[in-house]
Amino acid sequence: MTGGGRGLGRAIALALAAEGLAVAVAARSLDQLESTAREVRGRGGSALDVPLDVTDPASIATALATVAARLGPVDVLVNNAGIAESAPFSKTTPEMWARHLDINATGPYRLTRAVLSGMLERGWGRVVNIASMAGLHGAPYVAAYTASKHALVGLIHELAYELAPAVRVNGVAPGPIETDLRGPAALGMADRSIGSIDLSTNAAPNVPLGKVPATADYAGGYVFLASRRDARPATGAVLNLDSGIGVRGIGRTAGGARLAAKYAPDQG
Catalytic residue among 109, 141, 145, 218: 145
Helices (H), 19-93: 30-42, 57-70
Q: One-letter amino acid identity for 106?
A: T
| Burial 142-155, CB ≥16 within 10 A → b, else e | bbbbbbbbbbbbeb
The answer to whether the bond into 165 is cis (omega within 30° of 0) is: yes
With H, G, I as helix, E, B as strand and everything else as coil, classify residue 53. coil
Q: How far apart are CA 227 and CA 70, in angstroms?
A: 22
Residues 231 and 172 sit within 8 Å (Cβ to Cβ)? no
Residues 96 and 85 sit within 8 Å (Cβ to Cβ)? yes
- What are the CA-CA distances from residue 63 to residues 45, 58, 67, 188, 252 (Å)? 20, 9, 6, 32, 41
Per the annotation, the verdict on 145 as an active-site residue is yes
Which of 57, 85, 66, 79 has its CA nearest to residue 125? Answer: 79
Does an H or E element contain 49, and which?
strand 47-51
Pairing of strands 167-174, 125-130: parallel
- Active-site amino acid positions: 145
